[in-house]
Structure 1
């Protein structure tokens, strides 16, 4: 085969229309061979080509005859000396770290380990058996794709509503889709899927990992698989298990992004740059470990045979090495520039900022992100913790970043569970967590608010189980979090008791309503809006089955919950007071007699210090002044919205709540009451209540009012406005309301 020297950049296999340039970084290798395979299923390569050109630790070659679709891998020569951190073994075919497509999934067998499995010396001696028959292989791709008029939606953070979901799980059981595209990128791009997302009102989907991953060997031996995908093998290749086979995985992914963009929906990827699927010193050798182990992984300095593990997954990428930083940045830029994604959520992001041992806000990782002209312009979300010492860093990421707010999740769960001394914490989280973000000059959108996520109970399970039930994971229920801050409403698991079922539905409405009326960016865990259950499994990472797949055969109760969620999202979109770009002042502004935010007890008076700190207090009212937002829109016009009153009651019994007086000639208009099972349904009348009168807030419920000017009445019941349209307006979602009138106890 004819060869030319080639070039060191770009790394990976690059088709230029005439041939393919192959380029691989390895600082410590003594030799590299390019292996060309006849097809994706081949057990042995057709030819091995030594790479004789080396520039700045980059091995490269150019093959004029090579074409897109060619299948290849590498064999890397060097010492096998785990005591020095070196694990070269040319008997093992390795995946190109920069490959844009993986030819086949890992075919687990003992040869995929660089040492003899079961040997008493463990990993200290090499295994010389060839692994080509089971190794994942790389594919040369043609990057050409016609994007047409694709434009990223660029939704402002203050208007963003995130829907966290799984590419496969979302459509795997969808009855309106042909079987061949269920659970695929094409399935998520389908008209029924996109219509559903648009009807829900979300502005972004946050997809669980789509980087090509490998299931752990231990899972496969138990007949399970890594469904979530937090076990990355390739940082550039879309996972081929989500491909329908009608086109390459890359092109199908691009088609999905383009369809979602056409619907105004952004695509955010959950990415795992903190570790790889190669595990610890006893893990397999599939790619980076055999290419240049001490470059790519953090090794224990005193004994480099072993790996630093800040992730709980066996290894941690070596962010201190410039080549690793380049790998990550090249990957991120590829997904933005070539795949058109709109942002990233970084799994265990604290691990990326560990320069030595401690998490460092000035680390090289943050520096390169901050100055990068591409990555700095997209949405960046941190999971602000890892499993290492000092890894919990909520509120400590740089100003460019937003964060999953774990304190918000825990506070809202504790309040609705009925725990005492929660109202002060609740108020802080509802108003945007200024204690975490304001000091660094950040805005409320720095807080990604969530009640549930992929990791943990679903919303249905949060109100149905006190304990985890992970037996199906075959780890004797030892895995998963034991502290879920959950309450089963009186009975563990499924029940036929109507009073418990209705209480659970009310609690789900409470959680969803709280999420959508909080300052910050709401993230809905996919399926919560239809009361999806995982049967108490709070660590369903290995359940690629109906435990995690969405069941679209909805009961009336599930349909009602879905309608309520849609109503909440639409209401949030129409209420500027619920999505402020700046933190509240908590004081009178511009000479007004009313504060921009005020907190009330059931007496109708502002909360006292004693009430804030009392153990028995489980009720709270908050008034958000829509005419005192003190912000301007993109055209420089003052933002003015309705003034809102939100009443929370986590007591098990009803509490009369005196509605605060606001100004003469104005009344409180009821928007919804979660105590009503029909909350979210439409009706043609508004219910008005005067300030100074009391409204009975039922036990474990949330009520929302808006302030309206008194309307003249031509007759009918006192305290109610004249009939209005029964059609929900997308421009003003408060034009209609869910519940029937509630008797004014005043």
Structure 2
């Protein structure tokens, strides 16, 4: 072609959406139901100079499209959209603002905060009703035309069954920023995430899946940048198809996808699945006073939920200023296309949906039969992936734990809070946690749902890590610059300094050996709970060696050593003790199928005479009665579980839980079996061995597990029923 770029685009096709290179040129297809004109802007390789502006010549079914012959991978581009600027009618078109293609597969450059990024004049007394004519292109990242990546036919996903899954929640950057064995350019990148040292560590722990905080490109919020902070977690999406540029070691390359694909392939080769935390409930454009970066400038009235009767303003059930409008078919299509892109191009094994209740909102509120759930469950690609929801948002009726459709697992915050309160010694905590320990059938025990639907954890990225749960009674978030107003006030934590463990003066590290021993014991008891419970266990990265956030329970903006994992600390004796203990927990879970059972416990399945799938006793070996369950002064208990062993016999495990501050003798209930101690959180390095007699001493703040095998046991199944000890039902067995 003698003259390039040409003066105009060919008609092209309205599909697929985005920029698609075919070897001869590039097809552009952009959805907007309300635009009057859309232009593609081409930029020089540095992204500083606009070299051409070409209108998309055709519009088919609200998709503007055109074809650019001769375009090559690596070409930088952006969009401009023309139409009415009428905020009161929900329209915010401003062609002076360069827009990211919502389907951009790769980004070049970074967002540079400037008032030019706003469609209005931020200093005007008319606020968003004013109009700004400055070109935002110098402040905007650019989209990159890429060679379409095809599925990796050599990749072999592990395909672990849900009941065998153990999740490790991690952050790409935080996992390796303090890795001194890596060259500085590799730290905090996809390349470092799956290097042999990291994979060996995960193997040692026994996890089967790594769940990554957002890796889709995200914005650094302006208010954080002005405070000298950053958006560390990444819940402020700028592009649903492009990987976060900061996580790519080869910044100069045009194949960003390859680096993450290789990391995923390495995890798969090691038998580890990769789950992504994804944010389809809101975008980084905030409310009506936010910037115009992509969706708002292309079709604000379609992409976002606007207040009925007041379309100048946004529905904000997310707490982040806006809410994506998944009831619009093109917006839902974007989300589904994005999910398939990550599943097929990168080989992702599952997704954790941030604020999942928002995705299930219809006009009347949350609906488990919402369009999003229906679309994902019928999709032949996505229905085979692991699907996890954070089952709440801040809108009316937003708390929907246990109400998601079959096929979805859910983060169980009642497990988290119940475990914390039990081991803190709160009154009435025993009955609540018994229901969580046995799979939360009161929440998930509906037809077609299984026990794995409950994702059980005691700590996650949002809140205190495990080490801070036992060292801080109060949050210490001053570093966030919000005068301590941010973050939850009730953490069900304690600093374990006598007399009450809640004096803020004693929060943080202690030089008292007795306090440190108590903290270590409580931490081990807490971390054991997800692995000994029915459901899917999840552990936060760093909890296996005592990572602390210095009392910060909302470290979303701390892209620094507050959040980064300290691998030097991981080499210490206390850290290695905890790491070995976690590895022992995962090994125990693998050894006993009854810990991985996917059917809910009923207390009606007889596996041996007098032994059911679950039985509950007090420390004296007496079955717990309804009155005993409701005794606020009693916290210790025994939980006996039975099920088929790996060799065809009957396994019996008894959990002896002592949250009390003094050691207690536990009398093992009838029938008498040949018991072996297989776990003692107070003596984590102690080998297993036979139990002498029928009484086991359990140290303060500790859990002991004893096991027996009956090779000639026969069992019969009773009717399935929700487990009794819950807030709704308090039968003992």
SS at match of 1:399: coil
Q: Deviations over 1:97-144 (max 9, x none)?
A: 000001122111110011111110000011001111001210001124
Tell me whether 1:329 sits opposite 2:336 in the alignment. yes
Q: Deviations over 1:342-396 (max 9, x none)?
A: 0100000101111115111221111111211111111000000001111000010
1:400-411 superposed matches below 5 A: 400-411=407-418
Tell me whether 1:178 sits opposite 2:183 in the alignment. yes
Which of 75, 85, 92 is matched with 1:87 structurally?
92
Which of 36, 39, 63 is matched with 1:33 structurally?
39
CA–CA distance in 1 between the matches of 2:181 and 2:63?
50
SS at match of 1:36: strand
2:120 matched residue in structure 1: 115
CA–CA distance in 1 between the matches of 2:61 and 2:530?
52
Tell me whether 1:24 sits opposite 2:30 in the alignment. yes
2:502 matched residue in structure 1: none
1:529 matched residue in structure 2: 544
1:517 matched residue in structure 2: 532
Tell me whether 1:660 sits opposite 2:675 in the alignment. no
1:553–1:641: structure 2 CA closer, same or farther, 3 Å change rule?
A: farther
2:440 matched residue in structure 1: 433
CA–CA distance in 1 between the matches of 2:125 and 2:45?
37
1:357–1:223: structure 2 CA closer, same or farther, 3 Å change rule?
A: farther
Judge conservation of contact 1:145–1:251 (CA < 8 Å) in 2: no
What TM-score results when the alignment is normalised by the length of structure 2? 0.93
Q: Deviations over 1:611-633 (max 9, x none)?
A: 11101111010111134x8xxx9
CA–CA distance in 2 between the matches of 1:56 and 1:119?
37
**Number of equivalenced pairs:** 693
1:639–1:408: structure 2 CA closer, same or farther, 3 Å change rule?
A: farther
SS at match of 2:137: coil
Which of 46, 53, 62 is matched with 1:48 structurally?
53
Which of 147, 164, 169 is matched with 2:169 structurally?
164
Judge conservation of contact 1:667–1:689 (CA < 8 Å) in 2: no
1:343 matched residue in structure 2: 350
2:628 matched residue in structure 1: 611
SS at match of 2:101: coil
CA–CA distance in 1 between the matches of 2:174 and 2:182?
13
SS at match of 1:306: strand
SS at match of 1:696: strand
1:540–1:607: structure 2 CA closer, same or farther, 3 Å change rule?
A: same
Tell me whether 1:204 sits opposite 2:209 in the alignment. yes
Tell me whether 1:5 sits opposite 2:7 in the alignment. no
CA–CA distance in 1 between the matches of 2:108 and 2:608?
67
1:701 matched residue in structure 2: 702
1:68 matched residue in structure 2: 73
Which of 480, 486, 496 is matched with 1:489 structurally?
496
1:640–1:249: structure 2 CA closer, same or farther, 3 Å change rule?
A: farther
2:523 matched residue in structure 1: 508
1:83-482 superposed matches below 5 A: 83-144=88-149, 147=152, 149-245=154-250, 247=253, 248-482=255-489
Judge conservation of contact 1:534–1:540 (CA < 8 Å) in 2: yes
CA–CA distance in 2 between the matches of 1:273 and 1:568?
34
Judge conservation of contact 2:287–2:313 (CA < 8 Å) in 1: yes
CA–CA distance in 2 between the matches of 1:94 and 1:49?
14
CA–CA distance in 2 between the matches of 1:587 and 1:371?
35
Tell me whether 1:689 sits opposite 2:673 in the alignment. no
Q: Deviations over 1:591-611 (max 9, x none)?
A: 743211111111112111221
Judge conservation of contact 1:430–1:519 (CA < 8 Å) in 2: yes
SS at match of 1:163: strand
Judge conservation of contact 2:173–2:188 (CA < 8 Å) in 1: yes
The more displaced of 370-379 and 205-214 is 370-379
SS at match of 2:606: coil
Which of 649, 655, 658 is matched with 1:646 structurally?
655
CA–CA distance in 2 between the matches of 1:325 and 1:144?
23
Q: Deviations over 1:534-567 (max 9, x none)?
A: 0000000000000000001132111111111111
Q: Deviations over 1:36-71 (max 9, x none)?
A: 0012441x3111001121111111111111010000
1:570 matched residue in structure 2: 587
Which runs of 5 or more structure 1 residues have no equivalent in the other structure? 711-746
CA–CA distance in 2 between the matches of 1:514 and 1:305?
48
Judge conservation of contact 1:625–1:643 (CA < 8 Å) in 2: yes
CA–CA distance in 1 between the matches of 2:135 and 2:465?
44
In the TM superposition, residue 650 of structure 1 has moved relative to its aligned partner by 1.0
Q: Deviations over 1:497-525 (max 9, x none)?
A: 11111111111100111121011000001
CA–CA distance in 1 between the matches of 2:585 and 2:386?
24
Tell me whether 1:595 sits opposite 2:612 in the alignment. yes
1:645–1:32: structure 2 CA closer, same or farther, 3 Å change rule?
A: same
Once superposed, what is the RMSD of the aligned Cα atoms? 1.6
1:737 matched residue in structure 2: none
Judge conservation of contact 1:588–1:596 (CA < 8 Å) in 2: yes
CA–CA distance in 2 between the matches of 1:256 and 1:384?
29
CA–CA distance in 2 between the matches of 1:387 and 1:603?
45
Q: Deviations over 1:213-253 (max 9, x none)?
A: 00111111111110000000100001011000175321101
SS at match of 1:320: coil
In the TM superposition, residue 337 of structure 1 has moved relative to its aligned partner by 1.1
Q: Deviations over 1:279-330 (max 9, x none)?
A: 0000000000000000000001111100000000000001111111100000
CA–CA distance in 1 between the matches of 2:676 and 2:653?
9
Judge conservation of contact 2:152–2:347 (CA < 8 Å) in 1: no
CA–CA distance in 2 between the matches of 1:590 and 1:580?
14
What TM-score results when the alignment is normalised by the length of structure 1? 0.91
SS at match of 2:679: strand
1:511–1:95: structure 2 CA closer, same or farther, 3 Å change rule?
A: same
1:504–1:45: structure 2 CA closer, same or farther, 3 Å change rule?
A: same
Q: Deviations over 1:12-49 (max 9, x none)?
A: 0001111111110111001111100012441x311100
CA–CA distance in 2 between the matches of 1:470 and 1:353?
32
1:581 matched residue in structure 2: 598
In the TM superposition, residue 671 of structure 1 has moved relative to its aligned partner by 1.4
CA–CA distance in 2 between the matches of 1:429 and 1:17?
55
1:742 matched residue in structure 2: none
Judge conservation of contact 1:74–1:96 (CA < 8 Å) in 2: yes
In the TM superposition, residue 590 of structure 1 has moved relative to its aligned partner by 6.4
Which runs of 5 or more structure 2 residues have no equivalent in the other structure? 498-505, 712-733
